Structure 1
Amino acid sequence: MKVTDTIVYVGVNDHEVDLFEGQYQVPNGMSYNSYVILDEKTAVMDTVDAAFGQQWLNNVEKALQGRRPDYLVVQHMEPDHSANIPLFLEKYPHVQVVATAQAFKMMNQFFSLPSDIQQMPVTNGGELALGTHKLTFVCAPMVHWPEVMISYESEEKVLFSADAFGKFGALDVEDNWVDEARRYYIGIVGKFGMQVQNVLKKAADLDIRMICPLHGPVLKENLGNYIGLYDTWSSYRPESQGVTIAYASIYGHTKEAALCLAEELRKNGTTVAVYDLARDDMAAAVADAFRYSKLVLASNTYNAGINPFMNDYITRLAEHSYQKRTVGLIENGSWAPMAAKVMRGMLEKCKEITFAENTVTLMSAMKSENEAQVKALAAELR
């Protein structure tokens, strides 16, 4: 597949994977992207997952049309992109490998490579001339590994963005880019907002007309929208006004309160997303907590603490630097309700969290007084 007349897509689609990185549901599969730049000299941009090594090599060989590659550019050492470095070097032992010093260190950790491989270590601002095409390398540490770099091609003004601007889903499946990119970003990169902001500042001076990520489609139009979303996500600003309600319930009473609140909010036109943490996609529930301006946590008391699914959820929020939101609490307990106190304590470590003044406390089941508490909380969250 041609990206341009001189840049060829040589990646693969994976419809066998069920959990990306062993935890994220990917019902539409994944793409592992790789590109070949054809000029006086040729450069292959990254490899693909180990399961697709021969298919990828065939794609590369077809794109080269009998030519030999001069460079293998390694932007990111995560195995879904680097696993076929040994296979590539076995077929093309003469190639020069271009990467950061940290990436070369990781290469030796992942693989037993020949000692005579031709290494070209690059630093921030380093350049590689291929002919009319020239790559400039921008170090992007902790987006989302420390060795990462992105590459800017100045002739056609293409940003090879590593994992940035990627998404879940194979390229032969149509889905909502924003939803799957958000779920991907928050789950995988979300902790490193400051580092993403630093890279966005570096990229602001570049004339970018196309973005080639390592997952998901090549982005050619309305790039300001994609870059704007990354700016919003990485600065932890709410993307939309609305309320995410996440609940964990044993016998359905806590669920009843959560759904009652959702109904009350919707009556007044508030956008609401509701998640059953025991059954729904946890990554989507985390992503929507970042998407919307407000969050409600509803949990039963469990062993003097909170429901294990709620504990997992709040832990994930905190690990991904959840901040700048208003949070409401619903708790349930038949003799000593503790859930609100525990949930609040877990989130107090996060930055700029404002807690709603009204808390809903159930003693076993919903009663008339709880309905009044729900209405008061809904009024506060509108």
Structure 2
Amino acid sequence: MFITDDIRYVGVNDHNIDLFEGQYVVENGMAYNSYVIMDEQIAVMDTVDGNFTDEWLKNISDVIGDRKPSYLIVQHMEPDHSANVANFLDLYKDAKVVATAKAFVMMKQFFGTDYPERQIVVKEGDTLSLGTHTLTFVLAPMVHWPEVMVTYDSKDKVLFSADAFGKFGALDVEEDWACEARRYYFGIVGKYGVQAQALLKKAAGLDIQTICALHGPILKENLGYYLDLYNTWSSYGVESEGVVIAYTSVYGNTKKAVELLADKLTALGCPKVTVTDLARDDMAEAVEDAFRYGKLVLATTTYNGDIFPFMKTFIEHLTERGYRNRTIGLIENGSWAPTAAKTMLKMFEGSKNLTFTDTTVTIKSAVNTENEAQIAALAEELCK
């Protein structure tokens, strides 16, 4: 695949994977992206997952022919991108490896050596000339590992963005970018919004015409759309107006309250109402929606003096990712000592800029007329 006249794609598609990073469902597989810059000297940008060594090396060979690469540039040491560093350097004995100091520390951990005689350690703003192409290295620590850097090619105005702007899904499957990029961002990068914002500020000073991430498609058109979404996500802004109702229900009574609330919100003209059963639906999708929309309702039972496990896990996913700038409503159920709302509130104690509704719905076993009035009041609050 040609990206520009001099930059070629040599990555691979993975349709054998079921869970990315051991937890994210990827029905359409994953892409592990790698690129070759053809110039007086050849640079290879990152490697791929260890299950695709032969395919990746063949892709490189098909592009460069009898020529030999001068550099392997390692932007990120996560194994889905770095697993073949040793294989590449064993094959291309004269190639140098370019990375940050922290990346070389990890390299030694993974491979038993940091290639002291072949390493080029780069820091913020360092450059590397390949001939007509000059690469500038921009540090991006904790987006989303500490050793990460991105690389800017000033000739073709390409940003090799490491895991930033990545998404789930193989490249031979067509699907909407935003949905899987959003789920990827909030699942994997979301905790590091401050660091992602810092990278965006650095990127704003570059003339970027193409973004080449380590996962997902090459982005060339309407870059403002992708940059704006990334800015919203990483600043914890509200992307879309709507209400997400996330619930757990043991015998169906809490679910009945949720369905009643959803109906009332829809009747009041709420622009979007999304209902998620945390025990059955994809947790990563639920996290994505909670960050996408501006309002969230949590509905769960009191369980062993705590809250139902799936709800507890969901809230932990939100708080560890810095959930903020949202309105939250609470529905609790308990047959003899309902304390779920109090427990949920306590879990958000360290969170910033959250507004809780005045109305909290407390159900004792089953929804009654008093609860119906509370649910109607909660709907009115959320639709203001």
Indicate the residue corresponding to 2:245 in structure 1.
Answer: 245
Is the Cα–Cα contact under 8 Å of residues 16 and 29 in structure 2 kept in the other structure?
A: yes
Indicate the residue corresponding to 1:6 in structure 2.
Answer: 6
CA distance in 2, matches of 1:259, 1:177: 30
**Cα deviation digits, residues 65-100 of structure 1 (max 9, x gap):** 221000000000000000000110111121000000
| Structure 1 residues 196-215: aligned runs within 5 Å | 196-215=196-215
**Cα deviation digits, residues 21-47 of structure 1 (max 9, x gap):** 001111111000000000000000000
Deviation at 1:348, TM superposition (A): 2.3
Q: 1:269 to 1:117 in 2, by over 3 A?
A: farther
Pair 1:303 & 2:319 matched: no
CA distance in 2, matches of 1:333, 1:278: 18
Aligned-partner residue type, residue 87 of structure 1: N
User: TM-score, normalised on structure 1?
Assistant: 0.99
Pair 1:51 & 2:51 matched: yes
CA distance in 2, matches of 1:142, 1:159: 18
Measured on the aligned residues, the alpha-carbon RMSD in Å equals: 0.9
Indicate the residue corresponding to 2:256 in structure 1.
Answer: 256
CA distance in 2, matches of 1:215, 1:26: 12
Indicate the residue corresponding to 1:353 in structure 2.
Answer: 354
CA distance in 1, matches of 2:284, 2:148: 24
Deviation at 1:115, TM superposition (A): 5.0
| Structure 1 residues 1-382: aligned runs within 5 Å | 1-113=1-113, 115=115, 117-270=117-270, 271-382=272-383
Aligned-partner residue type, residue 110 of structure 1: F
Aligned-partner residue type, residue 217 of structure 2: P
Deviation at 1:112, TM superposition (A): 2.2
Is the Cα–Cα contact under 8 Å of residues 246 and 299 in structure 2 kept in the other structure?
A: yes
**More deviation, 267-276/5-14:** 267-276
Is the Cα–Cα contact under 8 Å of residues 105 and 114 in structure 2 kept in the other structure?
A: no
Deviation at 1:150, TM superposition (A): 0.2
How many correspondences in the alignment? Answer: 382
CA distance in 2, matches of 1:283, 1:30: 16
Q: 1:39 to 1:186 in 2, by over 3 A?
A: same
Aligned-partner residue type, residue 24 of structure 2: Y
Unaligned runs of 5+ in 1: none
Is the Cα–Cα contact under 8 Å of residues 104 and 114 in structure 2 kept in the other structure?
A: no
CA distance in 1, matches of 2:116, 2:318: 45
CA distance in 1, matches of 2:3, 2:65: 16
Is the Cα–Cα contact under 8 Å of residues 93 and 117 in structure 1 kept in the other structure?
A: no
Identity fraction in percent: 63
Aligned-partner residue type, residue 10 of structure 1: V
CA distance in 1, matches of 2:280, 2:116: 52
Is the Cα–Cα contact under 8 Å of residues 29 and 170 in structure 1 kept in the other structure?
A: yes
CA distance in 2, matches of 1:46, 1:296: 42
Q: Secondary structure at the match of 2:300?
A: strand
Q: 1:174 to 1:87 in 2, by over 3 A?
A: same
Q: 1:324 to 1:369 in 2, by over 3 A?
A: same
Q: 1:303 to 1:59 in 2, by over 3 A?
A: same
Is the Cα–Cα contact under 8 Å of residues 86 and 113 in structure 1 kept in the other structure?
A: no
CA distance in 2, matches of 1:115, 1:164: 27
CA distance in 2, matches of 1:290, 1:374: 23
Aligned-partner residue type, residue 366 of structure 1: V
Deviation at 1:175, TM superposition (A): 1.4
Unaligned runs of 5+ in 2: none
**Cα deviation digits, residues 187-239 of structure 1 (max 9, x gap):** 10001111111111111110000000000000000001100111100100111
CA distance in 2, matches of 1:12, 1:269: 45
Deviation at 1:113, TM superposition (A): 3.5
User: TM-score, normalised on structure 2?
Assistant: 0.98
**Cα deviation digits, residues 349-368 of structure 1 (max 9, x gap):** 21001000001111001111
Aligned-partner residue type, residue 169 of structure 1: G
**Cα deviation digits, residues 298-321 of structure 1 (max 9, x gap):** 001000110000000001100000
Q: Which runs of 4+ in 1 moved over 3 A?
A: 113-117
Q: Secondary structure at the match of 1:315?
A: helix
